[in-house]
Amino acid sequence: MYELLLSGIGNILQMKYLLPLAIGTLVGVVGGAMPGITNTMTVIMVLPFTFGLEPLQGLSVMIGVYVGGESGGLITSCLLGIPGKPSSVATMFDGFPMSQKGEPGRALWLGIWASFFGGLIGGVFLIGTTGPLASLALEFGPWEYFSLFVFALSMVAGLTGASITAGLLSGAIGLVITVLGNDPIFGAPRLTLGIAWLEGGIPFLPVLIGVFAFAQIMSDVEKLGGGRSDATRGFVAPRLLVSHLKVIWEILSRPFLLLWSSIVGLFIGVLPAIGGSAANVMAYDQAKKFSRHPERFGTGTPEGIIAAEASNNANIGGSLVTIMAFGIPGDAVTAVMLGALTIHGIQPGPLFISQEKTLAYGIFAAYLVAHLLMLVILFIGVRWFLRVVLVPKSILFPVILVLCVVGAYALNNTIANVYVLLLCGVLGYAMVKGGLPLAPLILGVILGDQIEINLVRSIMTDSNPWLFLTRPISGGLLAASVASMAFAFWQHRRAQKKSALAGGAADF
């Protein structure tokens, strides 16, 4: 394993991979620093650029964006009090007060170094567990795959959004999208609604791009009221000089905090479709609970920054494990990566690490090297990145939408994908307005065909439906699905009680 990893690092350090990785990291940092531009949006923007690249080059760009984005978000969180993205919200709770107390450099670099160490811990987990988990998944038959995908979907539906029913309905809508077009087993046409281009089914990348890009852009557009309204006008970059050794020691002298926050991030990352924002807030909350001085949280304590930032970078490692071992995206960014891989004819899943060793270890290496590049890029350009928040949204949004069009069109050079993009954009925005979460929809679209294929295969192999329950792994996974739903139900019930006490109500 170590030989393969070293060879992967050697591979990535070649200019043809290092340059895309560095560009991706830079774009990720810049995108992450821009309030309102999430990692998903940034990775969607770079997606079309990867079509013409080799698979490892394209994935290097995306991993760079992912790692850079998680770290870039802390810049504006710490220095301006504006989270660059949802997974930097908790960083702001202590980062900004620390900056206001006259220590902006300390706040910023505590976050950056914590991201680095959290990312490395995530890397150890990623490299150490992907192979064994993939070997376990190799034992799976169609019953187990079906149950695994159902488990993933039920978990996401239960854990995202304010209502379990809304989450499940969103996942079901995702599954409905996959039944339009030919059936995946025999190719028989079904539910094409008389539209010729629906016969081939709906590719999931235009759906993903449309749903996420439009939902986010339109949510921002509806807040625009004409004229620039940024809080950064007249902004003067602060002095960011700091003793790095001192900052590193501040982090490493709290090993339990660093490790536990990273484990929280990894755990959240492994859960399908739940991203860094949950990790960031949950790790912050855990750090506060374990702290001897919880009253200091929110006033500029280093523990708050370390916990929040270590967790969201470790979260990347967890997300990559799920996609590489099982072929299930850990979040929206890895869902786009999955799309990029399938464009190159590579199917992530249990066989990926054994059949695509160079690529798999290249991904591990890119992940590790991206963290070093992130440090270098932030060291050189952190003051400059603060300026990017001044770019008006009226310039940014048209450019992003053009890149979305290119991404959807270039998938297989057909304008039909662009129409799908618009339709799914309308659907995504309507779902946001209707209170339906987007993550289950996307997972439903990604897993829909696989759920159907494995269901039909299992029934064709043996028509006894009890096998789904009596085969140990399959039964265990279905039991876990029920348990996750029960947990979500309990959690929502508790929220409802709290809300009722506060004078409102939550629905199920």
Partner 1 sequence: MKLSRVGWAGLAALAASLVLFALTLGLKPNPLVPIGPGFYPRVVLGLSAVLAAALIAFDLYSIKQPGEGAKPNHALVLLVFVVFGIYISLMPGLGFRISTFFFVAALQSLLEPPKGVKGWVIVLATALITTLATHVLFERYLSVLLPRGRWTDF
Q: Binding segment for partner 1 among 85-93, 240-248, 269-277, 414-422 (CB under 8 A)?
A: 414-422
309 binds partner 1 (CB under 8 A): no
Report the nearest approach of partner 1 to the CB of residue 435 (Å): 4
One of 188, 241, 245, 501 touching partner 1 (CB under 8 A): 188
Is residue 269 a contact partner of residue 279, using CB atoms and an 8 Å limit? yes
Report the nearest approach of partner 1 to the CB of residue 314 (Å): 33
| Angstrom distance (rounded) from CA 42 to CA 418 | 19
Report the nearest approach of partner 1 to the CB of residue 4 (Å): 30
Instruction: Kindly list the distances between the CA atom of residue 446 and the CA atoms of 325, 342, 449, in Å, as whole numbers in the listed order.
Output: 16, 11, 7
Nearer to partner 1, 312 or 484 (CB): 484
| Angstrom distance (rounded) from CA 38 to CA 45 | 11
426 binds partner 1 (CB under 8 A): yes
One of 159, 335, 436, 439 touching partner 1 (CB under 8 A): 436
Q: Which residues ranging from 35 to 74 are in contact with partner 1 (CB under 8 A)? A: 48-49, 51-53
Is residue 314 a contact partner of residue 122, using CB atoms and an 8 Å limit? yes
228 binds partner 1 (CB under 8 A): yes
Q: Which residues ranging from 141 to 180 are in contact with partner 1 (CB under 8 A)? A: 163, 165-166, 168-169, 172-173, 175-176, 179
Question: How many CA atoms lie less than 13 Å away from 135 in the CB half-sphere?
Answer: 4
User: Residue 152: what residue type?
Assistant: A
One of 22, 207, 455, 478 touching partner 1 (CB under 8 A): 455
Find the length of the chain. 508
Nearer to partner 1, 152 or 266 (CB): 152
- CA proximity to 302, closest of 254, 370, 269: 254
One of 1, 19, 138, 191 touching partner 1 (CB under 8 A): 191
Going through 166-302 in order, the beta strands assigned E by DSSP cover: none
Report the nearest approach of partner 1 to the CB of residue 397 (Å): 6
206 binds partner 1 (CB under 8 A): no
Nearer to partner 1, 136 or 162 (CB): 162
Question: Tokens in use for 115?
Answer: 């991201």
- CA proximity to 288, closest of 261, 250, 248: 261
Q: Which residues ranging from 5 to 24 are in contact with partner 1 (CB under 8 A)? A: none
One of 197, 235, 290, 409 touching partner 1 (CB under 8 A): 409
138 binds partner 1 (CB under 8 A): no
| Angstrom distance (rounded) from CA 334 to CA 320 | 7
| Angstrom distance (rounded) from CA 292 to CA 290 | 7
Instruction: Kindly list the distances between the CA atom of residue 82 and the CA atoms of 32, 219, 373, 397, 504, in Å, as whole numbers in the listed order.
Output: 12, 17, 24, 19, 29
Q: Which residues ranging from 344 to 403 are in contact with partner 1 (CB under 8 A)? A: 392-395, 397-399, 401-403
469 binds partner 1 (CB under 8 A): no
Question: Tokens in use for 490?
Answer: 């309990």
One of 6, 138, 237, 430 touching partner 1 (CB under 8 A): 430
Report the nearest approach of partner 1 to the CB of residue 452 (Å): 5
| Angstrom distance (rounded) from CA 181 to CA 147 | 24
Question: Tokens in use for 91?
Answer: 């960083």
